[in-house]
Amino acid sequence: MSSDKAPIAAASAAAATNALSGSSGSGGVAAANANAKLLHPGAEFSKGINGLDKVVLRDPRGSVAEVYLYGGHVTSWKNDHGEELLFVSSKAIFKPPKAIRGGIPICFPQFSNLGSLDAHGFARNRFWSIDPDPSPFPTNTSNKVAVDLILRPSEEDMKTWPHSYEYRLRVALGPGGDLTLISRIRNTNSDGKPFSFTFAYHTYFSVSDISEVRVEGLETLDYLDNLQNRKRCTEQGDAITFESEVDKIYLSTPTKIAILDHEKKRTFVIRKDGLPDAVVWNPWDKKSKAMADFGDDEYKHMLCVEAAAIEKPITLKPGEEWRGRQELSAVPSSYCSGQLDPRKVLQGS
């Protein structure tokens, strides 16, 4: 946890706010131009579903990602063959205040119903801004295409969660098609009070057939079973496979987890830092039918594996900052042909 705080120029912040406030006529054009100037090379503004603003990241090799300002929400991640790697429901409601069903919702400052706020907190239901004063890129990552977003509390938020914070989110697309999300959350309370929060990147992966998928890297770990009132259990067996509803919070997980999709001959690799827990969720048939923004059979083609900090909430004193990083990559694989041993994926770099 770092307590260094780079000063943010008030004028820059005001300019960014003004740039985001225009919506029509010459003011709207000026806003769009001002916003565009805040983007890194390779990123561009576009209008998404229902006219919501989004940023499109394009890597020269062909991979693409889309990030909606509503929710700071990644809704698409395509490889250089144009294949969609994230799942978004065909019934997703792209209309505030409803959260977008699929992609990578951000759960902050509360995961699920573990607190007094609405489920999964409010970050995924707020309009984020382009960060006018982002931190510089590390020299070894300068070839990534990225967007930097920022979220601060509204007056309404302060009524239900009375804490001042700055949440900076960087979404970056690497030259190999890997997708990285870095969250930096700082306590800016002026009253000297600390605050605590739980967190998750609620990532929905697109899979060919859930019955043909297995998750490696969570064997023998303790987990809290949300289907049994968060009863603490220990994972048995060689790998996690799916034949019914699953909703588990795995504890003290490794920094690398692999999702093997046999039919697509693809392995997703999740690398994470600052996020000790991992949620594995598939609603299966009954729960799918109960969700208005989720197709009855769509559970067959998605799996959530969520890098998270849940069991032990993060506590920040004023001036302190927490950082949580998730890197996603997709590599060709096949158990059948023996092209890839998943254990080598987990143990390799």
Which residues partner with 47 through β-bridges?
A: 53
Look at strands 179-187 and 195-201 and give their pairing. Answer: unpaired
Q: What is the CA radius of gyration of the chain?
A: 20
- CB-neighbour burial class of residue 142 (10 A; exposed 0-12, middle 13-18, buried 19+): exposed
Q: Is 235 a catalytic residue?
A: no
* Candidates 73, 120, 163, 202; catalytic one: 202
* Candidates 298, 306, 321, 327; catalytic one: 306
Look at strands 53-58 and 43-47 and give their pairing. Answer: antiparallel
CA 207 to chain centre: 18
Q: How far apart are CA 310 and CA 237, in angstroms?
A: 24
What's the first-to-final CA gap in the chain, in angstroms? 25
Residue 341: half-sphere exposure toward Cβ, Cα within 13 Å:
4
Q: Is 327 a catalytic residue?
A: no
Residue with tokens 């239900």: 160
Concatenate the DSSP letters of all residues of 267-292 into one string: EEEEEEES--EEEEEE-HHHHHHH-T
Q: What angle do CA 193, 110, 268 make, to 5 degrees?
A: 130
Q: How far apart are CA 323 and CA 274, in angstroms?
A: 6
| Positive or negative torsion for Cα 203, 206, 211, 212 | negative
Asked if residues 153 and 125 have their Cβ atoms less than 8 Å apart, the reply is: no
Which residues partner with 240 through β-bridges?
A: 215
Active-site residues, by number, are 202, 306
